[in-house]
């Protein structure tokens, strides 16, 4: 080996680039792949926030968690959970330090972009039965045509009974879809800007084409669809007004690439952080700080509504913790640290123009620490302090976590936000951390297994 020159030595000491984990730590490839088997199951089990909460509660109960009782007293290592209206969840492992030294908050969201049924959805047109939809969250509408879709959700019947609906996930189930024009007849549609490739009122779901067999009946195809729904779920058209029904891609999570290094699936934003947060939470034994793992709803529509983080449900939960310990909640909050765990846009070599290479996240370089999100001049951003960045980087490096830093795209290319500013609003030090994703918000999002695994490792270190 030749001796290093002064410049080479200096370069090593003074400059920094984030390594490819597959090059730097190839032994992690198998571990990551193994860890992600559970992640794929979680994705398949939970395609709506309600289903995610159910899947999470099942996992938590198995790991010894009990429903939180604010009148009980808890010891370090005790594990509890709290469900908000079946659509959001908080889990806690009690820590060794007094609560006045703060809690460790890890907040991910479990709602994903999709097509919601309108309150009065069912109609027949030219002897085909359809559902009208209203899209939920940021979608590129043209991506939702001509792909198989499944219906998930609940109907609350007049007698108060809640019926769970899921059609299109079982291999023997039918699926549904939005139609699009054939290229032969799309000359005029081709002139539309991409954002109008399919328009909002064109996202109509084909649900049936056979008529009810009886002479002189008005809208027999609609009646046939209703009668089939009634047969399966005992519901009527009026019940749609008491329902939350959602169309999601009827596709299971799959390995992607010859090397199976990636996962392709619907809803990885942000169930990838939900799963990694949940498994890290369950792994916590007697952490230093009490943990507050949040799986929240409504992030994709701006966090409004009482199951989103604009609601005070997390504050009330921490107030209950503080009340139990007999300390002022403000003392708990001002000493707390939060990871707002959400995905970031991974650099896509096919579309380099919207990224600034030096400040983008890349797949296979680990979880991405995002100092600020927002748009234009950091508008609507939490913008974590240098001190908060130092704390979180320190926690990760102590445990050998692969991490990288990234912005959400180039300056003025667009922008976005997360729950970070809503937790920061409670006077908590907060920073965004999550998994870089390709094709974010599409029906088939891509993540790297090594990144998923290192995000889990980051969360584990956070709860040490």
Question: To the nearest whole angstrom, how small is the minimum distance from the Cβ of residue 299 to Zn ion?
Answer: 6
Number of residues that bind Zn ion (CB under 5 A): 3
Based on CB atoms, which residue is closest to Zn ion, 77 or 416? Answer: 416
Q: Where does this chain touch Zn ion (CB under 5 A) — which range of 172-180, 322-330, 339-347, 353-361? A: 339-347
Residue with tokens 């007004």: 241
Which residues pair with residue 163 across a beta bridge? 155
Question: To the nearest whole angstrom, how small is the minimum distance from the Cβ of residue 414 to Zn ion?
Answer: 14
Q: Where does this chain touch Zn ion (CB under 5 A) — which range of 136-144, 162-170, 340-348, 394-402? A: 340-348
Based on CB atoms, which residue is closest to Zn ion, 143 or 189? Answer: 143
Based on CB atoms, which residue is closest to Zn ion, 86 or 137? Answer: 137
Q: Which residue, 161, 182, 326, is CA-closest to 239?
A: 161
User: Token pair of 184, please?
Assistant: 């032969």
Based on CB atoms, which residue is closest to Zn ion, 202 or 432? Answer: 432
The CB density around residue 174, as the number of other CB atoms within 10 Å, is: 14
Based on CB atoms, which residue is closest to Zn ion, 296 or 335? Answer: 296
Torsion angle in degrees (nearest 10) through CA of 237, 239, 241, 244: -110
Q: How far is CA 323 from CA 26, 88, 100, 316, 403, in A?
A: 48, 22, 12, 10, 36
Based on CB atoms, which residue is closest to Zn ion, 301 or 324? Answer: 301
Question: To the nearest whole angstrom, how small is the minimum distance from the Cβ of residue 312 to Zn ion?
Answer: 21
Find out whether the peptide bond into 270 is cis, omega within 30 degrees of 0. Answer: yes
Question: To the nearest whole angstrom, how small is the minimum distance from the Cβ of residue 176 to Zn ion?
Answer: 25
C-alpha count within 13 angstroms, C-beta hemisphere, residue 205: 28
Q: Which residue, 434, 48, 108, is CA-closest to 296?
A: 108
Question: To the nearest whole angstrom, how small is the minimum distance from the Cβ of residue 273 to Zn ion?
Answer: 8
Question: To the nearest whole angstrom, how small is the minimum distance from the Cβ of residue 65 to Zn ion?
Answer: 25
Which string of x and - marks every residue 188-227 that binds Zn ion (by CB under 5 A)?
----------------------------------------
Look up residue 3 and give its DSSP letter.
Answer: P
Which string of x and - marks every residue 254-293 that binds Zn ion (by CB under 5 A)?
---------------xx-----------------------
Question: To the nearest whole angstrom, how small is the minimum distance from the Cβ of residue 274 to Zn ion?
Answer: 10
Based on CB atoms, which residue is closest to Zn ion, 93 or 430? Answer: 430
Contacts of 26 (CB under 8 A, 6+ apart): none
User: Token pair of 464, please?
Assistant: 């040490």
Based on CB atoms, which residue is closest to Zn ion, 50 or 298? Answer: 298
User: Token pair of 66, please?
Assistant: 């009990």
Please, what's the b/e burial string for 409-422 (b: 16 or more CB within 10 A of its CB; e: otherwise)? Answer: beeeeebbbbbbbb
Question: To the nearest whole angstrom, how small is the minimum distance from the Cβ of residue 376 to Zn ion?
Answer: 20
- The answer to whether 247 and 114 are in contact (CB under 8 A) is yes
Q: Where does this chain touch Zn ion (CB under 5 A) — which range of 31-39, 149-157, 337-345, 449-457? A: 337-345
Question: Judged by CB under 5 A, does residue 342 bind Zn ion?
Answer: yes
**Strand 177-178, strand 205-208: pairing:** antiparallel
Binding site for Zn ion (CB under 5 A): 269-270, 342
């Amino acid at each position: 080996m030749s001796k290093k020159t002064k410049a080479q030595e200096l370069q090593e000491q003074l400059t920094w680039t984030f390594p490819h984990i597959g090059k730097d730590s190839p032994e992690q490839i198998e571990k990551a792949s193994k860890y992600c088997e559970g992640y794929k199951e979680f994705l398949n089990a939970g395609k709506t926030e309600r289903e995610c909460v159910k899947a999470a509660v099942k996992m938590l109960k198995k790991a010894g968690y009990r429903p939180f009782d604010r009148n009980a007293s808890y010891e370090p290592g005790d594990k509890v959970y709290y469900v908000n209206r079946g659509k959001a969840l908080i889990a806690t492992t009690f820590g060794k330090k007094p609560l006045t030294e703060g809690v460790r908050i890890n907040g991910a969201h479990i709602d994903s972009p999709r097509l919601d049924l309108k309150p009065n959805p069912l109609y027949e047109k030219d002897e085909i039965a359809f559902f009208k939809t209203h899209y939920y969250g940021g979608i590129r509408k043209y991506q939702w045509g001509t792909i198989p879709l499944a219906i998930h959700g609940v109907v609350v019947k007049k007698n108060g009974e809640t019926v769970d609906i899921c059609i299109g996930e079982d291999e023997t189930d039918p699926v549904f879809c939005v139609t699009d024009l054939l290229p032969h007849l799309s000359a005029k549609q081709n002139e539309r800007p991409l954002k109008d490739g399919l328009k909002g009122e064109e996202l109509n779901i084909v649900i049936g084409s056979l008529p009810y067999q009886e002479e002189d009946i008005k809208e027999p195809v609609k009646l046939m669809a209703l009668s089939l729904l009634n047969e399966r779920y005992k519901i009527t058209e009026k019940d749609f007004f008491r329902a939350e029904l959602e169309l999601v891609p009827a596709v299971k999570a799959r390995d992607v690439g010859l090397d199976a290094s990636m996962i392709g699936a619907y809803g990885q934003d942000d169930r990838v952080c939900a799963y990694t947060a949940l498994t890290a939470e369950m792994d916590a034994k007697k952490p230093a700080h009490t943990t507050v793992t949040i799986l929240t709803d409504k992030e994709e529509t701006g966090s409004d509504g009482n199951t989103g983080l604009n609601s005070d449900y997390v504050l009330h939960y921490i107030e209950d913790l503080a009340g139990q310990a007999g300390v002022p909640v403000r003392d708990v909050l001002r000493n707390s640290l939060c990871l707002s765990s959400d995905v970031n846009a991974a650099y896509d070599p096919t579309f380099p123009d919207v990224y600034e290479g030096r400040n983008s996240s890349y797949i296979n370089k680990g979880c991405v620490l995002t100092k600020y999100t927002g748009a234009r001049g950091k508008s609507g951003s939490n913008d974590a302090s240098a001190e908060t960045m130092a704390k979180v980087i320190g926690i990760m490096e102590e445990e050998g976590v692969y991490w990288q830093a990234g912005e959400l795209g180039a300056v003025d290319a667009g922008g976005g936000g997360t729950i970070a500013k809503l937790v920061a609003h409670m006077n908590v030090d907060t920073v965004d951390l999550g998994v870089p994703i390709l094709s974010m918000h599409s029906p088939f999002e891509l993540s790297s297994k090594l990144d998923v695994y290192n995000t889990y490792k980051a969360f584990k270190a956070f709860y040490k």
